[in-house]
Every structure is written in structure tokens, then in C-alpha cells.
Amino acid sequence: MKRLAIISSLFIGVFAFAQGIKFEDGNFASILAKAKKENKLIFIDAYASWCGPCKLMVKNIFPLKTVGDYYNAHFINAKIDMEKGEGIELAKKYNVKAFPTYLFIDPNGETVHRTLGYVEEKDFIQFAKDAEDPNKRLTALKQKFESGEKDPDFLKNLAGLTMYNDTEFANKVLVRYFEQKTTLDQEDAQMLISSPQSTEGPLYKLFQDKKADILKFISKDNYERADKSIKLTEISRKAYNAETKTWDENYFMTETQKFLPKENAERLFKSMKASRALKNKDIALYEKLILELYQDYSKASSGELNSHAWNFFENVNNKASLEKAILWAQESVKKDQSFANTDTLANLYNKVGDKKNAKLWAEKSIELAKSNGEDSSDTEKLLKSL
């Protein structure tokens, strides 16, 4: 996705001097030292620069007086980008896989509680209070589960807290939750659609067994799409060897063609290879595969095109490839003009040396951002440099 700055220098000033949460400026070691000295827990806003909910928390929740009063009095607070600097190792250590994740850590560096996502004022303060109560911390909740707790509300809450950082445990919680449900509501149906990550586990069996209940809330076509998605997740997991960074193409194609046409399976395999190549920082392979995939991009969505155009801006230096990315960004803007894709177009034009068009689209991007209340500080910096 398009990577946008989380906070502007204005917001930094607000955090430093006004009544919201005051975040520490030092590195993690200094934050730990301060927590030990003051005998406080550490609160970490573990964010990524492209994350929309992260930006909304910065705009709507962190500056609130009620939030600042509680967090400043009870915690040493830190904001850490999990994709930059020491944040990369901290993301691995604390198993941060979704953004924003909120970590509550003791002075010894051990996690005592965590949650994630956009959280309203009242709930955000309650999460902090739970972190300070040993009986409400995640570790205590897990122990309560292991002791046999079957209360549905408890199980649903615990599954939500662990779904993105301890999938195996969350699956056990959800199995117990759904085994007790004689009927499903819409939220239950959505959880059962999105939770299974394998065709071999008990959650997938529940997904199949409760098909009739799920179909009360979604169409048969959507159910079938969800089923295919689960199967593809399982096939991809088995086809890719993370240690050798290699794919078993024959296995992937054989299994996916059981429910997909060969042409679709080939395109999907190439797309997955490209995504993995980008994750592995094999930019040359990523560039090659995406150029092949998007020779015809007329049917691609605006967001899809913008995502790859931005990835090319960030990672690719070949001018001919960048000019292809400009075409994708132009098509993205044509399909659904937004602050994000106009900013992408401005940056791409600047990277290939077309200052005139870079200025034009930077101005347009800033105009769109201001009309929608979005942060355009990075685009404004670009405009000033032109």
C-alpha cells in the first residue's frame, strides 16, 4: 500500500507540549531504563507508516486529554515504526504482525498485555487499566482459558486479542467458542469465514459444518470464494519453502487447478511469487514479474495499480520500468482519484526527472488531502523541493 507519513512536525509538537500522550524520544534501551527507574510499564504504539488506522489514532485518540492524563501518569510511552530501525527487530521479538498493535511491556522487557486496531477513547483507557491489573492481563486470560473457561464473551474477546500474534492459540479459543454456538449471528459468521488458515484444522471443519448458518448472512458465491481463499492459503504454505526461499511450482499448479482454470492459477502463482520476492527484497525478480503481470492492466483495480506503482517508486531505479509505473499510477488516478495515488504519481514523475508534472500532481494531492483531512506533510516537502 501507499506509504504515508503518520505524523507531521505539528503533531510532534502537540505530543510534546499539549495534553495528549507524551511519547519518549529515546531508543528502546533508554525507554526500558526509564521504566525500571520509575517502576512503570511501557506502552508501545507499534505502527507502520502506511497504516490508516495508525494515522487515525494519532489524529483522534492520542491527543485527547483523558487519554493523555491516564497514559502519562501510568506508563512510559513510546511510538515505534515496526518497519524501520530497531523496530524491525522489536517486531520479531514481540511478534507484531498487524498494525497498529499496542504493547504493554514490563521493565524487564516482557509483554504483559496487548491489543490492536483502531480503539475508541473509553476502550483505549480500559485496555490500559486491564494491563495494570494482573487478573485481566493477557497472560491471566490465557491461564483462565487453559483452566476450561467457556463463557462465549470471554472466548470471543480472547480470540480477538491473540488472532494476529498467536494464531495457533487463537484457533483453539475459536474452536471452543464455535463448538458451543447452536446458532450464529452475523459477526460469528464473519469470524468463521475469515479465521481458518488451513483446510486441515478443526476450524475449517466448523466452517464446512456450519455452512447453512453462514449462508443466512452471505451469498453462496461469497462462501465459495472464502472456501477457495482458505484452500489457496494452505496450498501456498506448502508450496513455499521459507528456508530455501524456493517454490514447488508443480505442486502449486496441480492443486490449484482442482478449482481454478489453468490461466488463473498461472497468474496467481506469478503474483504470489512477486509478493514473496518483494518481501525477500529480491527487487529484480519482483520488478520482472510485475512487469509481466501488468502488460495489460485495464482490469486491475485503482488500489492494486497504486500499490505496485508505489512499490516501484520505492524500490526500482530502471527508468523504463518507472515509466511503466507512471502509466499504472495514471490509470489508478483515472479510475479513482485520491490523495494517495496522486501523491504516488507526483513522486514517480519526480524520480524520472519530470519536475513540471511532479509539481502539478503534488499540488493536486495536497488539495485532495486537505479536503479530506489527511496528512499531506510528506507531499508538501516534495513540493518545496521542486
Active site residues: 51, 54
Residue 230 C-alpha from the chain's centroid: 19
Q: Compute the 3-state secondary structure of the chain and give helix, strand, coil in percent, each to the nearest 5.
A: 60, 10, 30
* Closest-CA residue to 236 (of 269, 270, 211, 210): 269
Report the chain's C-alpha Rg in angstroms.
Answer: 23
CA distance 317 to 352: 9
CA distance 270 to 267: 5
Task: Map residue 62 onto helix, strand or coil.
Answer: coil
One-letter amino acid identity for 140? A
In DSSP terms, 367 is beta-bridged to none
Q: Identify the DSSP state of 252.
A: H
Q: Which cell numbers hold the place of 131?
A: 494491563
Task: Map residue 105 onto helix, strand or coil.
Answer: strand
Non-local CB neighbours of 129 within 8 Å, separated by 6+ positions: 70, 136
